[in-house]
């Protein structure tokens, strides 16, 4: 039986989607059969042996569609190999990466049944000019950590591809049913 992989993502402004696309492409280069879908379009996980779930952190939380996906598919996900990633840090400051990892760990702790085979944080992308409401208002508040910070894109494509390649080597072949 073939190991079929679902790469599911949530994304507000497209940067997590692009990371998910790169991960899906890298897994395919490693001879895996991969479907790439936004989480809200995933109806069933029946055909998959592996799920890779990725989404950005917003206001200290993992995107709510990613959390909803875990809750909705809890029973099936317990039988799959699951890998998760979050986007967040907008600079290369070590402190910011530690905070993002702590936020992500806290979010994942809400799903104690989940035992991912890989957990990763990737740098994010931010463009204050492209924000919609209410993010525009949030960022305009002087108390916001994102107040007046410049546009940035700290996604490290080499690290993203390396993570996906390593993941491909970690996957156990699906067992015949
Ligand atoms: C309003 C707002 C709040 C954010 N909150 C967090 C946060 O709490 N922690 C974090 O690490 N990154 C935070 N970020 C950074 C995003 O995770 C980053 O911009 C990500 O690349 C956005 O992904 P998307 O383009 O797929 O929506 C925030 C960004 C915005 C605009």
Tens of pLDDT along the chain (177 residues) come to: 578 999 999 999 999 999 999 999 999 999 999 999 999 999 999 999 999 999 999 999 999 999 999 999 999 999 999 999 999 999 999 999 999 999 999 999 999 999 999 999 999 999 999 999 999 999 999 999 999 999 999 999 999 999 999 999 999 776 555
Per-residue confidence (pLDDT) for residue 171, from 0 to 100 = 92
Whether cis (ω within 30° of 0) applies to the bond prior to 134 is yes
Which of these, 1, 9, 6, lies nearest to 51 by C-alpha position? 6
User: What CATH class is the domain 4-170?
Assistant: alpha beta
Ligand 1 atom closest to 124 (CA): 21
Cβ count within 10 A of residue 125? 19
How many residues belong to the chain? 177
Per-residue confidence (pLDDT) for residue 120, from 0 to 100 = 98
Ligand 1 atom closest to 139 (CA): 1
Which of these, 80, 90, 164, lies nearest to 127 by C-alpha position? 90
Q: Is ligand 1 within 6 A of the CB of residue 146?
A: yes
Domain boundaries of the chain, sorted by first residue: 4-170
Per-residue confidence (pLDDT) for residue 1, from 0 to 100 = 58
Q: Is ligand 1 within 6 A of the CB of residue 138?
A: yes
Mutate-to-test residue for ligand 1 from 57, 131, 144, highest number of ligand atoms within 8 A of CB: 57
Give the Å distance between the CA of 171 and the centre of ligand 1.
29
Q: Is ligand 1 within 6 A of the CB of residue 154?
A: no
Per-residue confidence (pLDDT) for residue 140, from 0 to 100 = 94
The model's pTM is 0.97
Residue 29: alpha-carbon gap to chain centroid: 20
Q: CB–CB of 100/86 below 8 Å?
A: yes
Mutate-to-test residue for ligand 1 from 22, 58, 60, 160, highest number of ligand atoms within 8 A of CB: 58
Ranges of beta strands (E only) in 39-105 are 50-58, 61-62, 81-87
Q: Is ligand 1 within 6 A of the CB of residue 145?
A: no
């Amino acid at each position: 039986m073939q190991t079929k992989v679902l790469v599911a993502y949530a994304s507000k402004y497209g940067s997590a989607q692009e990371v998910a696309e790169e991960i899906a492409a890298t897994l395919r280069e490693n001879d895996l059969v991969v479907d790439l879908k936004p989480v809200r379009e995933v109806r069933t996980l029946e055909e998959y042996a592996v799920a890779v779930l990725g989404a950005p952190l917003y206001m200290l939380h993992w995107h709510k569609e990613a959390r909803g996906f875990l809750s909705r598919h809890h029973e099936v996900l317990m039988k799959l190999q699951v890998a998760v990633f979050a986007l967040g840090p907008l600079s290369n400051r070590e402190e910011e990466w530690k905070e993002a990892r702590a936020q992500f760990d806290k979010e994942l702790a809400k799903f104690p049944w989940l035992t991912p085979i890989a957990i990763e944080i990737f740098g994010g992308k931010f463009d204050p000019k492209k924000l919609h409401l209410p993010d525009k208002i949030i960022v305009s508040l002087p108390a916001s950590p994102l107040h007046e910070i410049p546009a940035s894109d700290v996604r490290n494509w080499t690290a993203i591809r390396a993570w996906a390649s390593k993941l491909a080597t970690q996957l156990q072949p699906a067992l015949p049913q």
